[in-house]
Structure 1
Amino acid sequence: MGLIYALGAYLSWGLVVPVHFRLLDAVPAPSILAHRIVWSSLLVAGLLVALRRRIRNPFPLVRRHGLLVLSAGLIGVNWLLYLQAVQSGHMLDASLGYFINPLMSVGLGAVVLGERLRPVQAAAVALAAGAVLLAVVMAGSLPWVSLALAGSFSLYGLARKIVAVDAMVGFAAETLLLLPVALIYLAAFAPPVIQGDPVRFGLILLTGATTALPLIWFAAAAERLTLATLGLMQYLAPSCLLVLSTLVYGERLEPHRAVLFGLIWLALAIYAVDATRAARQARAA
């Protein structure tokens, strides 16, 4: 079941979610984000009630749980950046961001948490950094969208690692923290987006499911699979996004981005081989 949950999560993020948001092109990204927060909050609250006996209780609250305020802000920024990238026809930038993200997370772990990098891991991170610099030289500009997506999600992962709270409880806390901002925006600032269109209303309503369910499936997969397996499977989502952007939505893979993708894939391959070997050695020991 772990593989099924992981496939459900990553294929949703790589195929279902971007197509869903492209169908809502006529709706401004901030409005989609606000609706996404509202409907996700309702869905996850219902799930917490239904599954309350199977979820680890976060109480008593401790000081580090205050970092959920930071993680809520980071995931909100990440969702908005992703929405704007998808709606503006920059899926390639979003895909690249989520390819860079794992290597950025490794670097953050080393710098912030003092986690020791194996030599091969350090080489992979250095190769990824070199790839970004080379792409900047070739294109004359930084891939800001990709780096912002990778940075916000890496920092989000770091905050959630420090908080160490149940995945669903943490997600519920984050959406509830964002809920007042979303409601104020919808009530006072958002333009009317439904306008008697039942199809659009249905698509907006589904944003709760396409936000919450993949995260819940991911948490279920994490409980059942090794970190090495989960780490290798995480590249399914940006790979699907890359294929979708070029073959379905006609985005052009420019030379500097092709070089960048190629070097990032090489860095990820080096990292994946090293992670698999380390996992085997740990099992053998």
Structure 2
Amino acid sequence: MSDTASAPAAQNDALRGFLFALSSYVFWGFLPLYMKAVVHIPALEIVAHRIVWSVPVAAAVLFMLGRTADIKRALRSPRTLAMAALTAAVISCNWGTYVYAIATHRTVETALGYYINPLVNVALGALFLGERLKGYQFVAVGLATLAVVILTVNAGGLPWISLVLALSFASYGFLRKTLPIGPSQGFFLEVLLLTPPALAYIFWTVASGDSHFLASQPMDIFLLMALGPATAIPLILFAFGAKLLRYSTIGIMQYTAPTLIFLIAVFVFREPFDTVKAFAFALIWVALAIYSGPLLKDLIAAKK
């Protein structure tokens, strides 16, 4: 195929990838509104239903892609199962913390966590992969660290929600690279492994009379079942988008979700946002601008 013929195909792939990734980030950005609707349900019950109802959605996607054989091979590999169990545990920790943050009116801290996530990725690469930080990366990580210190001093304790979200999601991405199967297959395997303890917890809530799924409110049943698609769909959209886009493009787009979360927290949920938090967020935004500058430069150069 000639370069002339392949150029439109490449542009079409890039456009499709952009739309897939943007859809996932916008979905994640507005997810706090959904989580606010289930704020009366305990966080553990929400996470359990999030896991269980993700399984049929992820299974349907694998069936449509014709990749069910990958799961059969993975289930016969103890090493793959062990690695998937670890990534599943990490992402479930992230989910639980996220739900708790929304329920306790700390959505601003959620936004902060996902803002500093890419800088935590850089730090993990330096610590565990031996990647040397460039000068601008040192500055970006330093500014983010300073912001965390300011918030810690102001609050009289670490902003643990932000740190847990950032560290767990960064660790999940770091460990996920070692899982020897595709993103859709890996997500299905993770929720499949998490299903037994999730079902055990759901059955326990039923036996103890605390289940919201069997409550008299039909809306609770619908909201809990819809947690599956709300979890699986953006992850799958992101996986498809990441395959079709350059890393620099994904790097710039990843700030869409925390920006939407931040705006919802401040202007919809009316969470407090004082001068100290504003200064700390300003440091984070400057750090992200420094970090993203080279990525944006690469993206612009690729368009020429």
Q: TM-score, normalised by structure 2?
A: 0.87
Q: In the alignment, what sits opposite 2:29?
A: 14
On the 8 A contact 1:120/1:274 being kept in 2, the answer is: no
On the 8 A contact 2:205/2:211 being kept in 1, the answer is: no
Separation in structure 1 between the aligned mates of residue 135 and residue 79 of structure 2, nearest angstrom: 35
Q: In the alignment, what sits opposite 1:176?
A: 192
Which shifted more, 184-193 or 151-160?
184-193
Q: In the alignment, what sits opposite 2:42?
A: 28
Q: In the alignment, what sits opposite 1:187?
A: 203
Separation in structure 1 between the aligned mates of residue 183 and residue 161 of structure 2, nearest angstrom: 27
Q: When the two structures are aligned, how many residues end up with a matched partner?
A: 282
Structure-to-structure mapping, 1:1-285, within 5 angstroms: 1-15=16-30, 17-53=31-67, 59=73, 61=77, 63=79, 66-189=82-205, 191-194=210-213, 195-278=215-298
CA gap 1:58/1:276 in 2 versus in 1, 3 angstroms = farther
* Shift, 1:62, TM fit: 7.4
- Three-state SS of the structure 1 residue aligned to 2:53 is helix
Give the aligned residue type for 1:187.
F
Give the aligned residue type for 1:20.
Y
Separation in structure 2 between the aligned mates of residue 3 and residue 280 of structure 1, nearest angstrom: 15
Which shifted more, 115-124 or 23-32?
115-124
Give the aligned residue type for 1:179.
T
Which shifted more, 47-56 or 175-184?
47-56
* Shift, 1:49, TM fit: 1.6
CA gap 1:32/1:18 in 2 versus in 1, 3 angstroms = same
Q: TM-score, normalised by structure 1?
A: 0.92
On the 8 A contact 2:140/2:288 being kept in 1, the answer is: yes
* Shift, 1:56, TM fit: 6.7
* Shift, 1:202, TM fit: 1.2
On the 8 A contact 1:64/1:162 being kept in 2, the answer is: no
Deviations 1:261-283 (A, max 9, x none): 110100000000022335667x5
* Shift, 1:86, TM fit: 0.7
Separation in structure 2 between the aligned mates of residue 137 and residue 235 of structure 1, nearest angstrom: 26
Separation in structure 2 between the aligned mates of residue 25 and residue 136 of structure 1, nearest angstrom: 26
Specify the structure having the higher radius of gyration (Cα): 2
Give the aligned residue type for 1:146.
S
Deviations 1:201-246 (A, max 9, x none): 1111110011000000001110111111111111110100111011
* Shift, 1:163, TM fit: 2.1
- Three-state SS of the structure 2 residue aligned to 1:163 is coil
Give the aligned residue type for 2:27.
S
Separation in structure 2 between the aligned mates of residue 64 and residue 182 of structure 1, nearest angstrom: 21
Give the aligned residue type for 1:260.
A
CA gap 1:113/1:59 in 2 versus in 1, 3 angstroms = farther
Separation in structure 2 between the aligned mates of residue 129 and residue 164 of structure 1, nearest angstrom: 33
Separation in structure 2 between the aligned mates of residue 130 and residue 263 of structure 1, nearest angstrom: 8
Give the aligned residue type for 2:281.
F
Gaps of 5+ in 2: 1-15
Separation in structure 2 between the aligned mates of residue 56 and residue 176 of structure 1, nearest angstrom: 14
On the 8 A contact 1:135/1:259 being kept in 2, the answer is: no
* Aligned residues: CA RMSD: 2.1
CA gap 1:45/1:279 in 2 versus in 1, 3 angstroms = same
